[in-house]
A and B are shown apart, each in its own frame.
Chain A
Amino acid sequence: MAMKFEKKGEGHYMLDVTGYVCPHPQIYTKKALEKLQTGDILEVVFDNPSSSESISAMCDSNGNEIVDRKMDGGKFVFTIKKA
């Protein structure tokens, strides 16, 4: 499946990198966050477990808040609020 980036609503975006392995999910997340405005929401959908650690650490160091984390059957959905 190819990478998808969509606008879901005002200030609310979705990045789907399901099927991708490292380093794609974390690099795409970083690049997507760089384009957003402060307060915008980015939902990242991925299924590469090790990317969960990298995305969490990246958000922590950049001050972006992961407001929700879901994980079901190997699929992760992180909702990130841009700082």
Chain B
Amino acid sequence: METVPKKNRTWALVIVGFFVLVSVISFGFHEYYVYLQAYLWFGFIYGMCLQYGRFCFASAFRDLFAVGVPRMVVGIMIATVLFGFTSAFVNATGWSTFHAAPTSIHATIAGILFGIGMVFAGGCASGSLYKTGEGNGVSLLVILSISVTQATFVDVGGWFNKLVPEPWRLSAMQKGLPESINVTDGWIDQYLAGYVWNQPVLRFAEMFGMKTDTVMGAFVGNLFIGVVIPALILLLWVYLVWVKKNHVRKIEKQGRTVTFRDHLEGFWGMIVSSKRTAIAGLFLGIACGLQMFVIEGLRMKFGVKNAGTLLERLGFTYGLSAKGTVFDPGYWYVTTQEAQWVGWTMQKIFGWNFMDNIFFGWVNGIPNPAFNPADWMSVALIGGAAVMALLHNEFKFKKPTKELAIWAIIGGFFMGIGSRLALGCNVGAFFVRTAQGDPSGWLFGLGMIGGAYIGVKFFNWWTERKMAKEMAGLEFEL
């Protein structure tokens, strides 16, 4: 095993020390900061898990389509089922912080755009965060692109208002939003209030006549029907299409006839083929469920329903939404806080009014990133990944090349658009929702698979072209 240089261990210690110091000092100011610290340390755990397992949603179907490697699909399904299991406990106790999303085709369309973007960018929203922690400049550029695209997209109006269907505009006007939001100016505002909010909000338990906050509804409806069965179907499909052929070939080489038992062993072999990914999935699934418990517990302790109230009590009122709230999901989320810091920066420094749209002004706010719970989570996620990378001697600063910078910006753009249309990214719109038995998560996932397929087709053409140039002087048949 490779020895970890002392310098790496020192830096890992510095990063951990920094987060400990932030926690201790902020607690010294007020006990309310425990709320932000909870986000911080869960973010740190996520970062460590993601880096350890090379856990990137982008690689799940991309690597399957591009190079026939199923490890990440397996890892994600393990994490989803385990998160679903811990969530079922949380749901059954009524402590869940989760709110299901509207279910309709918009989730699939958004998923396609997001899927294309994550293949182009070389990482999904969460993958880009953890890879930034590995010192990867391309991933940092992806995050910047996602952040700026989202913040701009949710505020775009003017000429784009002409693209809004009339029924959306009329429906949005009937939602009784405050004048400060100016709902008829902004494409996303009218898309949200005039279309998305009109779609059914449901979970698998409710579709089968059960209540989510009962043992039956949480474990049978949402977990078994909504998570375990679709995950098994997906894994079976992956085995039959990508893994079975090679497994059968290996057995036939031994001169044996393939039996059903061999297929079971092949299926299990696929599940455990990447120990690192499977272990990361296991810890991620448990940590995600635990975060819901912890955040809801803290809300009860402090007598609040949203972190906006805590920020107000602490005297930070800038950037609270018209309802006095800020983005405070209570679970793992990635993209909204990325849009928020851009929104805050552009409003604070350049005077651009971002509070006249639904996304910021009515729902999420644009609090100072230094006091934004979800931003604490993302920063700590990068830190956790950096610590893990340093301790495995995998940390390396990498400047983006021109080619990769272009892909990063284009990919980030597509992911930014996709995540706002779906109200979340690969984590918020897929991982969290599917694990909670929300069918819109699977609709987004289907779109992501389709988008990944399109992205891989393009990249196959692109790399083939470049390989042909490189091999031109050699004796290969091109």
Contacts and interface: CB of A to CB of B under 8 A. Distances in A.
Interface of A: 1-5, 7, 19-24, 26-32, 35, 47-50, 52-54, 57-58, 60-63, 71-75
Contacts of B394: 49, 71, 74
B56 A22 contact: yes
Interface in B357-388: none
Contacts of A1: 401
A27 to B, nearest CB: 5
B323 to A, nearest CB: 40
A31 B66 contact: no
Interface in B38-87: 51, 54, 56, 58-59, 62-63, 66-71
Contacts, number: 121
Instruction: State which size class the interface on B falls in.
Output: 35 or more
A73 B67 contact: no
Interface string B441-478: 00000000000000010011001101100110010111
B67 A21 contact: no
Given A22-B58, A74-B396, A31 B474 contact: no
A24 B456 CA distance: 11
Nearest to B245: A61
B274 interface: yes
10 contacts: A2-B401, A5-B471, A7-B474, A21-B122, A22-B59, A23-B66, A26-B67, A30-B66, A35-B471, A49-B51
Interface stretch (B131-139, B208-216, B327-335): B131-139
Contact of A53 (B123, B277, B404): B277
B403 to A, nearest CB: 8
Interface in B258-274: 273-274
B240 to A, nearest CB: 14
The 4 A-B pairs of least Cβ separation, nearest first, read A74-B396, A50-B54, A21-B122, A5-B470
Given A27-B459, A27-B463, A49-B389, A21 B274 contact: no
B75 to A, nearest CB: 10
Contacts of B67: 23, 26-27, 29-30, 54, 58
Contact of A20 (B70, B134, B404): B404
A53 B276 CA distance: 9
